[in-house]
Structure 1
Amino acid sequence: MPVRVQTEDFDLSTEVAQLRAHNPSIGAVACFVGTVRDLNDGSSVAGMELEHYPGMTEKALEAIVTQAQQRWPGIEVLIVHRVGKLAPLDQIVLVATTSKHRGDAFASCEFVMDYLKTEAPFWKKEATEHGARWVDARTSDDAALARWGVKSGNAADEA
């Protein structure tokens, strides 16, 4: 299954090995692992809680995988995204892509992560020294997606 939303942590080596299994044409694997930081927007962060809408979130992630596979035929994609309470240094998300050559692996991995940051329905609430706060979408994430020729749903809402 190319998409999983879960509370449990993941093991990068295991996930990549399973993604590569039984496909000898893979010549490249690109991975991105996002983690919880202890500082954001000038405030220390003691933890983060990620929420999602079950069913809708998985469909949105599957649509991202489909978009990437249409742009880079032959790639394989894995997205593992955690929800629930997380602490600094905890892993949040894994995006891994495989292809015959490194260029497609790198590009598709970056595309999936850029798309995920703006279009996936996750809500993040940080615990800071000033209390809990919801994390807003960033203009820089919309710009990252726009360079792929895709307009963010967030950008459309702001217009």
Structure 2
Amino acid sequence: MSGPITPKVLIQAEDFDAAAEAGALSAGRKDVGALVTFTGLCRDEDGRLSALELEHYPGMAEAEITRIAKEACSRWPLTGLTVIHRFGKIAPGGNIVLVAAASSHRRAAFEAADYLMDFLKTRAPFWKKEHLKEGSEGSWVEAKTIDDDAAKRWTPG
């Protein structure tokens, strides 16, 4: 490989096809030995959630996710990387985020996908608001310490 690849980053309201996106990273490629995908889905929060609304800062979200994706591409020998993050109202069971990492070897693909998700959870400028089945708006979802702790493992020190 001749250096880091350019990741595909999309921020969109529309749903995505995880299998098609993953297939696009390996189609016709003989250098792909591993393809790791992660799809984050909307939980129903014990049956009380009708939808999760995701808001973002257009332009800033794309720039930050692209920066994180490029960091992953420079850390691991990837042959392809796709990150798709949705915004808008998403019903329980609906797709929220896709990370698909391709590499010649499994470890690089696993670690890059894991890294991406840790930093998407902590640095991507998205805000989540719950909409409850009983008809009221729930609260804005707070950041979780567990996500910050997970991201810390990637920085030396």
TM-score in same-fold range (> 0.5)? yes
Pick which of 94-103 and 15-24 moved more. 15-24
Alpha-carbon distance, 1:75 to partner: 4.1
1:22 deviates by: 4.2
Query: Amino acid of the residue matched to residue 95 of structure 2?
Result: Q
* RMSD across aligned positions (CA): 1.8
Q: Any idea what SS the aligned residue of 2:48 has?
A: strand
1:127 aligns with 2:131: yes
- Quick one: which of 41, 44, 48 aligns to 1:44? 48
SS of 1:25's equivalent in the other structure is: coil
Judge conservation of contact 2:31–2:79 (CA < 8 Å) in 1: no
Query: Which of 17, 20, 24 is matched with 2:26 structurally?
Result: 20
Give percent identity, aligned residues only.
45
The residue number in structure 2 matching 1:102 is: 106
Tell me: CA distance 1:105–1:85, structure 2 relative to 1, closer, same or farther (3 Å).
same
Match of 2:117 in 1: 113
Q: Deviations over 1:130-153 (max 9, x none)?
A: 6321011100000010011179xx
Matched pairs, number? 149
Q: CA deviation at 1:74?
A: 3.4
Return 5+ residue gaps in structure 2 as ranges: 1-6
How does the TM-score come out when normalised to structure 2?
0.88
Partner of 2:148: 142
Structure 1 distance, partners of 2:156, 2:120, is 12
Unmatched runs of 5 consecutive residues or more in structure 1: 152-159
